[in-house]
Amino acid sequence: MKSKECVAMILAGGQGSRLGILTKDVAKPAVPFGGKYRIIDFPLSNCTHSGITTVGVLTQYQPLELNTYIGNGQPWDLDRNDGGVYVLPPYVSAEKGEWYKGTANAIYQNIGFISKFDPEYVVILSGDHIYKMDYSLMIKAHKEANAAATIAVIEVPWDEASRFGIMNTDADLNIVEFEEKPANPKSNLASMGVYVFTWSILKKYLIADENDPQSDNDFGKNIIPKMLGDGNRLLAYKFDGYWKDVGTIQSLWEANMNLLSENPGYLLDDDDWKIFSRTPAMPPHYLAPTSRVKNCYITAGCEIEGDVENSVIFEGVKIEEGAVIRDSVLFPCCVVKKGATVNKAMIGTNAYIGQKAVIGSDDEDAIADFYNSKICSDDITLIGPDVVVEEGVKLGKCAMVTRNVKNKVEEKSAVDETSADIITA
């Protein structure tokens, strides 16, 4: 194996439980975003454009869809004879086998993989952020500073700083202290979850950390404070572009809506830094004579007869005549039948919204059984993948719908099973 200057490792094993039903069967990095992407397209495309062609993707939670999606890496130009993309699940060896216990442990368990390439530097990325970033510039800064680790930071509003991992630095951006979600932040430089490490140094710390039974095996909690404590040079690298954590339903919805604003903060349509994705073979979309489409993102395979405004529509979606869609995100291949209304909602892959059904209704007679303010905030309604909402059903806002919803009128004629179906919500 030829040695590589740099290997990237993407932590893609997180469950993303705050995304509720969206991550029931798929890992967070495989969640759809922006009309035709998956979240992981962003770090993968960034790697390719930054000239990093050896990428390990660490999977653990519900990896099937993510593994299938990544495949041989061809959509990101990462099907290489030398390097390329590797999916790295936890494995069992002769002595023992175990799950990834924490972010640091996940890398520890893959020391063998990384060492095969004998890199100078390792870039650690997470699979749940939307941003475009040239990692090669960060590696350059890391090299020039001769740092042991460089951590990308972004300025966040002061009142939000206590939600992030905060870096306190000196004037030269040397990190003097790291605080995870501090109650009284001293700085507003938040860690973006993008790290560059000098591999020889990181390897020592990973081994020491693994031998420490008290450790949580986490980069933020354990490795970084330990390196700081030992007097290593840790550099903060300021990034001033668009960066969005899409870990909650609200932030995922917002990040989609950002695309529709006049100034989304970054250019998705940029020939020099395209975000690559696995493209389905679908014909261009069709807007019928009855359609009305304003301020939308629409992609291949859609057939639109209805009225759609301020919405992001993924591939293969059908919206029938008279249906009204507002401020919503419709995931691949979902169907909205005639006269249905969808208000401020995210509709999962392959979901079906029956005729004249209403999603995100304000009315008092709307079904409130699925109300879930823990997952859904800001009045957003979430319909799970493959869920069927039958004709005429009216669903209240701020709900997470995880199962098929039958029509109450029909329910009366077949009380036995359908009523039970609703009540167990």
Partner 1 sequence: MENNNTLGLIFSGNPEVNLGELMKVRSLAAVPVGGRYRIVDFMLSNMVNSGIVNVGITTGTKHRSLSDHVGSGKAWDMARKTNGLFLIPPPETLDNNTRTLESIDFVNSAMSFLTRSRQDYVILSDCNTICSINFEDVIDKHFKNDADITVVYTEVGELTPKELGHHIMLDANADGSISDIQVYPQRQKTNLAYMNMMFIKKDLLIELVGDCLAHDKHSIAKDILLANLHKLRIFGYKFDGYKKTIDSIKSFFGFNLDLLDPNIRHELFGTNDARSIHTKVKDSVPTKYGREAEVKNSVIADGCTIEGRVENCIIFRGVKIGKNSVVKDAIIMQNSRIMDDCRVENAIFDKEVILCNGKKLIGQGTYPLVIGKRTIV
Please, what's the b/e burial string for 222-240 (b: 16 or more CB within 10 A of its CB; e: otherwise)?
Answer: bbbebbbeeebbbbbbebe
| Single-letter amino acid code for the residue at 33 | F
**Least distance in angstroms from the C-beta of 30 to partner 1:** 18
Q: Would you count residue 269 as binding partner 1 (CB under 8 A)? A: yes
Q: Would you count residue 131 as binding partner 1 (CB under 8 A)? A: no
Contact predicate 324/311, CB 8 Å = no
**Segment contacting partner 1 by CB under 8 A, of 12-20, 50-58, 292-300, 363-371:** 292-300
**Choice from 136, 174, 291, 377 touching partner 1 (CB under 8 A):** 291
Q: Would you count residue 293 as binding partner 1 (CB under 8 A)? A: yes
What's the rounded Cα separation, in Å, for the pair 124 and 11?
A: 7
Cα dihedral across residues 400, 294, 251, 44: positive or negative: positive
| Single-letter amino acid code for the residue at 312 | V
Cα dihedral across residues 267, 271, 276, 279: positive or negative: positive
DSSP state string for 50-111? TT--EEEEE--SSHHHHHHHHTTSGGGT---SSSEEEEE---B-SS-B----SHHHHHHTTH
Q: Would you count residue 81 as binding partner 1 (CB under 8 A)? A: no
Q: Which of 70, 84, 89 is nearest to 13 (CA)?
A: 89
For the record, the structure tokens of 205 come out as 């710390």
**Least distance in angstroms from the C-beta of 37 to partner 1:** 9
| Cα 133 → chain centroid | 16
Instruction: Identify which of residues 3 and 295 has a Cβ nearer to partner 1 in the complex.
Output: 295
Which parts of 303-322 interact with partner 1 (CB under 8 A)?
Answer: 303, 312-313
For the record, the structure tokens of 225 come out as 């404070």
Contact predicate 6/121, CB 8 Å = yes
Instruction: Identify which of residues 6 and 317 has a Cβ nearer to partner 1 in the complex.
Output: 317
Residues paired with 394 in a beta bridge? 358
Binding mask 8-47 for partner 1 (x = CB under 8 A): --------------------------xxx-----------
Q: Would you count residue 324 as binding partner 1 (CB under 8 A)? A: no
Binding mask 223-262 for partner 1 (x = CB under 8 A): -------------------------------------x--
Binding mask 61-80 for partner 1 (x = CB under 8 A): -------------xx-----
Q: Would you count residue 277 as binding partner 1 (CB under 8 A)? A: yes
**Least distance in angstroms from the C-beta of 181 to partner 1:** 35
Contact predicate 249/380, CB 8 Å = yes
**Choice from 109, 299, 328, 418 touching partner 1 (CB under 8 A):** 299
**Least distance in angstroms from the C-beta of 321 to partner 1:** 12
**Segment contacting partner 1 by CB under 8 A, of 110-118, 165-173, 277-285, 372-380:** 277-285
The H or E element containing residue 226 is helix 224-229
Q: Would you count residue 263 as binding partner 1 (CB under 8 A)? A: no
Contact predicate 55/85, CB 8 Å = yes
Q: Would you count residue 279 as binding partner 1 (CB under 8 A)? A: yes
Instruction: Identify which of residues 207 and 288 has a Cβ nearer to partner 1 in the complex.
Output: 288
Q: Would you count residue 49 as binding partner 1 (CB under 8 A)? A: no
Residue ranges in contact with partner 1 by CB under 8 A? 34-36, 74-75, 260, 268-269, 274-277, 279, 281-289, 291-300, 303, 312-313
